[in-house]
Chains A and B, each alone.
Chain A
């Protein structure tokens, strides 16, 4: 019974309908999740890349270094 169900699921995923409705979105979801997770681990590089001249130009928690970039404090 269990093997039968597994087989049916495998066949469904291998079919055109399964590829479109399950396999594609699942792959896309895992890839997106991976990217988001990587961004969380690495931090927020965007803020550091923002050009600045004074602290007003940086988000809270970032210091405007005189080299022109927002640096996390």
Chain B
């Protein structure tokens, strides 16, 4: 009897250890993969993977809940996403982690709260996200083990710079013009970035892999009429605010830019001829766009991981250096 109890404890210990080790040893993809969300029949979305040419689409979540906003961990071993699987009501998304094959799905935080639009710190230890109702949310920074979280600003849709120094986010009241601001990841002080003078219709900030540029969308009009949504398009600006460049012509309603790990291409969402939202890819050299998804279900970006650009080391923000990003490029 005594030995049986000992054996059971041993078995339990081994199982717990295996669960912990297995979670750590999740395998990153061997080849480049884009993670995105795709709508389905029941008006909920699932997380999918596909190759950078749009081939080999694979459903990772296959769940009746609404799963959105997937982002790769810096090493490609985990995918962070938002889901309403706990409350199953529209807008009740919270954050979840899973392995790149869709297994080992688990909550980031034990206690439910509205959390959405996550982004990883470059060392993979912290995350930033929006919490609250759309339009009146706050930016939070938390640890990936779900043990701590701290409110750092009012706004939406944070994206962490590759050198770890700043978090870009969208600041401004709902229905009002907005600004993209930079929040210092150490001091939590923030400053307006773009537009530098008057707020305007900007959103969807996205850092280049080197952290030297920011892509975003802008409807470059003083007043916003209902029919002006087609004028929203993608721009790139240098981190110092110079070199503003329009990437795609107005008139196609292009949103949600996301950089390729090489920094030579951008993914984006736009409406196709059948009035469905698809994922496209544009080469920043040739300016040629390619449609990657099709069909009647809407496709939402999304993040691109390439093992060739992932390094198992982290930047040191206290050294105030950007050499890290250049190392990655080389």
Q: Which residues 26-43 of A sit at the B interface, judged by CB distance below 8 A?
A: none
- For the complex, count residues of B whose C-beta is within 8 A of A: 40
Take A53-B135, A71-B229 as given contacts and tell me if A63 and B253 are in contact as well, using a CB distance cutoff of 8 Å: yes
Verify if B267 is at the interface (C-beta below 8 Å from A): no
A66 within 8 A of B: yes
For A45, what are the chain B residues with a Cβ–Cβ distance below 8 Å?
A: none
Segment among B4-12, B269-277, B285-293 that sits at the interface with chain A:
B269-277
Chain B residues contacting A23 (CB-CB under 8 Å) are none
Is B170 a contact of A53 with CB atoms below 8 Å? yes
CA distance A50 to B68 in the complex (A): 17
Which of B43, B69, B91, B226 lies in contact with A65, CB distance below 8 A?
B226
Indicate if the CB atoms of B157 and A53 lie closer than 8 Å: yes
Mask of B47-64 contacts with A, CB within 8 angstroms, 1/0: 000000000000000000
A53 touches B203 (CB 8 A): yes
Give, as a whole number of angstroms, the nearest-CB distance from A29 to chain B: 27
A52 at the interface (CB under 8 A from B): yes
Whether the pair B226, A67 counts as a contact (CB closer than 8 A) is: yes
A18 at the interface (CB under 8 A from B): no
Interface residues of B in 220-247 (CB under 8 A from A): 224, 226, 229, 232
Assign chain A's interface to a size class. 10 to 19
Contact A50 B203 (CB under 8 A): no
Whole-angstrom distance from the CB of B231 to the nearest CB of chain A?
10
Is A8 interfacial (CB-CB < 8 Å)?
Answer: no
Please tell me if A57 contacts chain B, counting CB pairs below 8 Å: yes
* Contact (A60, B45) CB under 8 Å given A66-B229, A68-B135: yes
* B224 near A67: Cβ-Cβ < 8 Å: yes
Q: Assess whether B204 is in contact with A68, with CB atoms less than 8 Å apart.
A: no
Chain A residues positioned under 8 Å from B156 (CB to CB): 53-54
Contacts of B229 on A, CB cut-off 8 Å?
63, 65-66, 71
Cβ–Cβ < 8 Å partners of A54 in chain B = 117, 156-157, 203-204, 255-256
A51 at the interface (CB under 8 A from B): yes
A43 to chain B, nearest CB (A): 14
- Distance, CA A67 to CA B134, complexed state (A): 12
Task: Give Cα A68–Cα B219 distance, bound, in whole angstroms.
Answer: 14
User: For residue B45, which residue of chain A has the nearest CB?
Assistant: A60
> Quick check: A55 and B255 within 8 Å, CB to CB?
yes
B298 A61 Cβ-Cβ under 8 A: yes
Structural contact, A50 and B90, CB atoms closer than 8 A: yes
* B280 adjacent to chain A (CB < 8 Å): no
Interface flags for B153-185 (1: CB within 8 Å of A; 0: not) read 000110000000000001000110000000000
Q: Is the CB of A50 within 8 A of B232?
A: no
- Known A-B contacts A50-B90, A50-B134; the reply to A55 vs B117 at CB < 8 A is no
* A52-B135, A60-B39 given; 16 more Cβ-contact pairs under 8 Å: A51-B136, A52-B134, A53-B134, A53-B137, A54-B157, A54-B203, A56-B82, A57-B91, A60-B298, A63-B277, A66-B219, A67-B175, A68-B174, A68-B175, A73-B271, A73-B275
A-B contacts, 25 of them at CB < 8 A, read A50-B90, A51-B174, A52-B134, A53-B135, A53-B156, A53-B157, A53-B203, A54-B203, A54-B204, A55-B256, A55-B269, A56-B68, A56-B69, A57-B116, A59-B90, A60-B43, A60-B297, A60-B298, A63-B277, A65-B226, A66-B203, A66-B229, A66-B232, A67-B224, A67-B226
Identify the 3 closest CB pairs spanning chains A and B, nearest first.
A60-B39, A51-B135, A68-B174
